[in-house]
Amino acid sequence: MSALPISGRTKAERLAAAVSAGAPRIVRTALDRLSAADRTVAAKIVAARFVERCAASAAAGDWTILTSFVDAACDRYAGIFTADELFAAALEAVSSVLRTSVDPATGLAFERARFDVEAAIARPRTFARAAAAHEAVDEVDVVLDDLLTQLDQSDALTAEHSRAVASWCGRLAKRLGSTKDEVVHLTRAGLIHDIGKVTTPPEILGAPRGLDDEEMAIMRRHAEAGAYIVHEVALIRSLTPAVRSHHERFDGTGYPDRLRFEAIPWVARVVAVADSFNAMIGRRPYRPPLAPSVALERLVEGRGEQFDPDIVDAMIDVVTLRA
Ligand SMILES: [Fe+2]
């Protein structure tokens, strides 16, 4: 926040500061206006994002930041919760906070923009798009999306890697004969497995060299830190074992709990293979990518030691048969 006295700030800065300062109240007021059934974790997250975009629009004097967010969210969350009602309530809440916190001339910029936001909320959504969005996303995905956005902001490379691991996990799960629900669960586990890295210092995450012992110990804390983050959110708590145990090794020499063999949750054993393979074929700050064939050889070398042998075999099929 700028250290300028309020009188020295521009109108845009005053408006943005008032929206940011009122964020908790705006979110609470907006949710209070929804029916009890609609006051979900996802609705709370999306309301908070609305307020962030609102403050960013005010600061930039560019309200398309907010209207394009509203437009995309109404499409994306159609069928999951009533995004249009939520945004209408949030708009009203912003307006009432501004009435009490800024002078009328400063608040006017928001009232002018409000028409555009209302138009975005009211835009008709086609049934086909809404149905597709409903199939692809549910409330859990909204929560995961939000966590991934946080990871993206602190470490874009890890977020990109996590999306790829999610895809490998989904393909591995299918190859291993999993049910549809297991495929979804594993895909989500892959997506979120490294969320604990939001707590790892960037100079360690981005070190263009191998880490020393002390740095490695700090890096390793991400498994437990991630488990804590995921466990705190009831909707995604079932992903905790995958997050905590994805660095366990099949022979019992991994971390954080030195579990071995079947004591390592199955989901974590799958994530471990997908994670290692994708890390090897991906760019890293300290080394160039390996060819997929070389990465598969490394998995085979670790078969039964670092990795569950059945899952290594399935990974070879996924990569070589494009399963
Ligand atoms: Fe990890």
Model confidence over 82-100: pLDDT tens digits? 788 889 999 999 999 888 8
Q: Pick 9 or 135 by higher pLDDT.
A: 9
- With a pLDDT cut of 90, the percent of the chain lying above it is 58
* CA 247 to ligand 1 centroid distance, Å: 6
Per-residue confidence (pLDDT) for residue 128, from 0 to 100:
45
Q: What is the mean pLDDT of residues 148-166?
A: 91
**What 8-state DSSP symbol labels residue 239?**
G
Question: What angle do the packed helices 11-21 and 23-32 form, to 10 degrees?
Answer: 60
Instruction: Round to whole Å and give the CA distance between 156 and 143.
Output: 18
- For domain 6-135, give the fold: Globin-like (1.10.490)
- What is the reported pLDDT for 137? 59
Tens digit of pLDDT for each residue in 60-86? Answer: 989 999 998 998 888 777 666 678 888
Model pLDDT, residue 120 = 86
- How confident is the model at residue 218, as a pLDDT? 96
**What is the per-residue pLDDT for 220?**
96
Q: CATH says 138-320 is which class?
A: mainly alpha
How much is the average pLDDT of 251-276? Answer: 96
| Structural contact between residues 140 and 235, judged by C-beta atoms closer than 8 angstroms | yes
For tokens 């899952």, name the residue. 311
Is the per-residue pLDDT at 3 higher than 80? no
CA of 52 to the centre of ligand 1 (A): 29
Ligand 1 centroid–CA 282 distance in Å is: 14
pLDDT of residue 131: 47
Top-confidence range, 72-86, 124-138, 184-198 = 184-198
Confidence of residue 40 (pLDDT cuts 50, 70, 90): confident
- Rounded distance between C-alpha atoms, residue 108 and residue 110, angstroms: 5
* Ligand 1 centre distance from Cα of residue 222 (Å): 7
Which range among 8-17, 22-31, 89-98, 125-134 shows the weakest confidence by mean pLDDT? 125-134
pLDDT at 228 > cutoff 80: yes
- DSSP conformation class of 291: P
Residue 7 pLDDT greater than 80, yes or no: no
Residue 282 backbone zone (phi > 0: left; psi -120 to 50: alpha; other: beta) = beta
pLDDT value at position 80?
A: 66
Closest CA to 54 of 44, 45, 43, 67: 67
Listed by start position, the domains of the chain span 6-135, 138-320
pLDDT bin (cut points 50, 70, 90) of residue 23 is: very high
Whole-number mean pLDDT of the chain? 88
Q: How far is the centre of ligand 1, averaged over its atoms, from the C-alpha of 110 (Å)?
A: 43
Instruction: Give the containing element (helix H, strand E) for 296.
Output: helix 292-301
Cβ pair 120, 71 in contact under 8 A: yes
pLDDT for position 81 = 67
pTM for the full model?
Answer: 0.71
The three-point CA angle 132-135-140 to 5° equals 130
- Band (pLDDT 50/70/90 cuts) for residue 108 is confident
Tokens for 137, please give them.
């996303």
Q: Roughly what angle, to the nearest 10 degrees, separates helices 156-175 and 266-281? A: 120
pLDDT of residue 104: 84
Take residue 219 and report the two structure tokens written for it: 């890096």
pLDDT at 287 over 60: yes
Spacing of C-alpha 125 from chain mean position: 25
Residue 323 — very low, low, confident or very high, per pLDDT cuts 50/70/90?
Answer: low
**At residue 312, does pLDDT exceed 90?**
yes
Enumerate the active-site residues.
197
Which pair of tokens denotes residue 113?
Answer: 């923009």
